[in-house]
Amino acid sequence: MVLEATVKGLKSEVSRLSDKCLDLEGRSRRQNVRLVGIEEGHEGNNPRQFCATVLKEILELEDIQRLIRGHCTLAPKPREGERPRPFVIRVHHGDVKDRF
């Protein structure tokens, strides 16, 4: 009896923690923007500044709000002729992303 109650309690806790983890992962991606189609190597030494410049030019923005992060996805570097990796850009505020 005690073992069954313990297992039932642990199952409900695992389910709750799993739901919480999915929610946190979704929230952490909410402020990300993907930039696709930029050839490899054009970002130079400062990918965050490169992403800010590209967004400013493409969207014709007067100024770009703070970008927390800008980097290529973690996929392996593509070979010659393959599709380039997308950039992942994280903006500081969610309302900034909505303007994109």
**Phi and psi at residue 20, in whole multiples of 5°?**
-65, -40
Name the pLDDT band for 18 (thresholds 50, 70, 90). Answer: very high
Query: Can you give the pTM of this predicted structure?
Result: 0.55
| Structural tokens at position 86 | 């997308």
Mean pLDDT along residues 33-46 = 76
pLDDT at 55: 74
Q: What is the mean pLDDT of residues 54-78?
A: 70
pLDDT of residue 82: 81
- Domain ranges for the chain: 1-30, 31-100
Q: How many CB atoms lie within 10 A of CB 61?
A: 14
Say which CATH architecture domain 31-100 belongs to.
Answer: 2-Layer Sandwich (3.30)
